[in-house]
Amino acid sequence: MPLDRDDPGALSRNERMILSLIRRHGPLARAALAQMTGLSAQSITNLSRKLIRSGFLDTEAVVRGKVGQPSTPLALAPDGAYFLGLKIGRRLAELALVDFAGRVRMHRQEVHAFPEPDRVLAFARQGLATLTGSLRPQDLARIMGLGIATPYRLWDWGQEMAAWLDHDLQAALSAELSYPVFLDNDATTACGAELLFGSTNLPKDFIHIYVAHFAGGGIVLDGTLRHGPQRNAGALGSMPLPGGGQLLDHASVSALERRIRHSLPPDNSGWVVPPDIEQDWADKAGQALAFVALSAVALVDLPLVVIDGAVPAATRTRLAQATRHALATMPAAGIDRPEVIEGSLGRSARILGAAGLPLSHFFQPDGALA
């Protein structure tokens, strides 16, 4: 039976822990879950039976080894719950329906010159009606909520965004929908998506830098995405750089567009940039990213930097390589240079992270992205 959306404590912490471990590691046998959680075999059996009855877990084919008893891996049931995600970007709004296994079932998008509040609200209303209108009643009952990924302080983008100062999109949609609505910074949700849905085995402490029209980031400490008291933690795009400007002025698609003197497609279709210009941009962006990375190490001793973005995979690789090269040339006496890797989600990170907000609230331990 579906989880009660009005009761976020409907699942116990141990049940959430089991679901979180399977989400992070893939299908797991009960014996492995007992070892990873410290719970008894009987407790794991009882909890997993409840999660199967509730529709959140499926049993996979029995695995027979040469030694010991056969085991039956438990996997997330894709239809166990559904989550909606709305992403607001500088030139592109997106809406998606994501299933319990993290797969995008349906997707809509709209390109705009800039995100006007009324236009974004109309896109959301129409898109939600289309996405939910095609679902069966039993699937509609399993929609747990809508997450919104948006840059904070949109009105700081320029005079054309001034209308956002007095507009509360979360409140407007909450008044119209039967399920809860969550909102977070778009770059923060990209980091959260890497935690929830990414394919990389991540340490408990790292920073995540997301390069899109502007740059942003997220910081993970002790396995949890941190926001800070003013929700400024991980606002890496705003970090000042030596020589002037902020990270977003150098490591961003907008900086590349200034060089080529035209806009690039926000969905990466038809991304055409002269290789020498893109490489020079990546080299300068890498210098800026390396400064931010080394500063983060000096402040919080982070061993890893994850670089992702709403850019083609080859462009993301160039940024990561340039950052590694720049880091190797920077003075780092007294501290250890961090490892630099690429993220695994690319331009889908923010929309998946938006859908991950209600998922985390109802199904992650303590309701947090981890």
pLDDT of residue 186: 94
Give residue 232's pLDDT.
86
Query: Given this model, what pLDDT does residue 313 score?
Result: 96
In this prediction, residue 6 carries a pLDDT of 61
Mean of pLDDT values over 305-331: 97
CA 43/CA 49 separation, integer angstroms: 10
| 3-class state of residue 6 by DSSP | coil
The residue assigned the tokens 């959140």 is 56
What does CATH list as the number for 13-76? 1.10.10.10
Look at the alpha carbons of 120, 171, 362, 11 in this order and tell me if their dihedral is positive or negative: negative
Paired residues of 105 in beta bridges: none
Over residues 188-231, the pLDDT tens digits come to: 999 999 999 998 889 999 999 999 999 999 999 999 999 999 88
Helix axes 275-300, 313-329, angle to 10 degrees: 50
Mean pLDDT value across residues 108-114:
89
Do the domains 81-192+350-367 and 13-76 match in fold? Answer: no
Report the 10 Å Cβ neighbour count for 187. 30
CATH of domain 81-192+350-367: 3.30.420.40
DSSP character string of 127-149: HHHHHHHTS-HHHHTTEEEEEEE
Percentage of residues in the chain having pLDDT higher than 90: 80
Cα–Cα distances in angstroms (integers) from residue 32 to residues 21, 45, 60, in the given order: 10, 12, 15
pTM beyond 0.85: the answer is: yes
* pLDDT score of 56: 97
Phi/psi of residue 325, nearest 5 degrees:
-65, -45
**Lowest model confidence (mean pLDDT) among 50-54, 60-64, 361-365:** 60-64
Longest dimension (CA), the chain: 69
3-state secondary structure of 158: coil
Give, in words, the CATH class of 200-343: alpha beta
Q: What are the sequence ranges of the domains in the chain?
A: 13-76, 81-192+350-367, 200-343
